[in-house]
Amino acid sequence: MSRSSSLKITRVGLLGLLAPSVAIYTFVIIVPLALSFYYSLTDWVGGPTKNYIGFRNYSLLVHDSLFWHSFKNNMIILALTLIIQMSLAFLLTTLFMSKALRLKELHRTVIFFPVVLSAVVVGFVWQMIYSHDYGILNSILRSIGLESAIRPWLDDPKIVIYSVTVPLIWQYLGIPLMIFVSAVHGIPKDIYESCELDGCTGFKKARYITFPLIYDTIKVVVMLCISSNMLVFSHIYVMTGGGPGTSSMVMAQYAYKTSFGSMQLGYGSAVTIGMFVISFGIVLIFKRLAEVRV
């Protein structure tokens, strides 16, 4: 068999292997996105009638204060998640690489366990924890004499967005942790041994050895964090429904409320396309900034 024939067979085989994945991705992602863009150019309010109105929905979206308020809430959640969750994941990774820590597998399992739970279940659990009257959090504060710290955690517009962020950080902490641990295991042990012989231990080892060598992994994890937190919905919908008022409403919930609450399906589609463009833009900006290594 000639070389060209074998290459042709290899290409056909690779295309055959990729075809199911490409088909599923097209059906699940590309087609709904294209349909959303089509509907966003109409005044569809349900039913068979769809009148083409061009980019009028996008003009309304740019001047929609509630949409930008929801975007601000998404950015608050994203900032808190990036700072707290990524920092905790990196610190825990450093701790797990320490020889002093025992039962590492148990600790990793406990931290990762919330990831497999349903977001709805987590939302209900934290709703009970935050309850002003019978919640565990306020009961603990009351039992240790910190009555002044007791708050209506989900009913105060000033703190509710921070309250709903905590369950997100807690549930998904295990994902960046496992990725970081896997990346650190890929670093040759000789590097750490040489580092320790030179007297570089603890925080210095994490700063000058671990962080630079898993920098590319950290970039990927941050981009995953950005994309997931810009689409957060279930936790907040269960805990607060976007309230009180609109103080904890995020973009995905605004799109849902507009599309299925007010039945403005055309404008709701424009909101979803706006979410996609903003999220994609933030990821691209971060990717460009991360190319300059510190």
DSSP lists the bridge partners of residue 52 as 42
Q: What is the mean pLDDT of residues 149-173?
A: 93
Answer whether residue 202 shows pLDDT above 70: no
Neighbours of 83 (CB within 10 A): 11
pLDDT confidence of 266, banded at 50, 70, 90?
very high
Query: Which residue has better confidence, 9 or 272?
Result: 272
Q: What is the mean pLDDT of residues 30-42?
A: 93
Of 89, 90, 180, 170, the closest CA to residue 123 belongs to: 170
pLDDT of 21: 84
- Say whether the peptide bond before residue 244 is cis (omega within 30 degrees of 0): yes
Reduced to 3 states, what is the DSSP secondary structure of residue 136?
helix
Q: What is the mean pLDDT of residues 124-133?
A: 91
- Burial of 224 per CB tally in 10 Å (0-12, 13-18, 19+): middle
Q: How far apart are CA 74 and CA 63, in angstroms?
A: 18
Domain boundaries defined on the chain: 64-290
Query: Which residue has better confidence, 240 or 48?
Result: 240
Answer whether residue 14 shows pLDDT above 90: no
CB 271, CB 39: distance < 8 Å: no
User: pLDDT tens, 49-102?
Assistant: 888 999 999 999 999 999 999 999 999 999 999 999 999 998 888 888 777 777
Q: How far apart are CA 164 and CA 74, in angstroms?
A: 11
CB 161, CB 77: distance < 8 Å: yes
> Would you state the structure tokens that stand for residue 288, as one six-digit string?
């460009």
Q: How far apart are CA 82 and CA 84, in angstroms?
A: 6
pLDDT of 62: 95
Q: How far apart are CA 169 and CA 268, in angstroms?
A: 28
Q: Regarding the domain with residue range 64-290, which homologous superfamily does it belong to in the CATH classification?
A: MetI-like (1.10.3720.10)
Largest CA distance in the chain: 83
Q: How far apart are CA 74 and CA 35, in angstroms?
A: 25
Q: What is the mean pLDDT of residues 201-211?
A: 77
| Whole-model pTM over 0.85 | yes
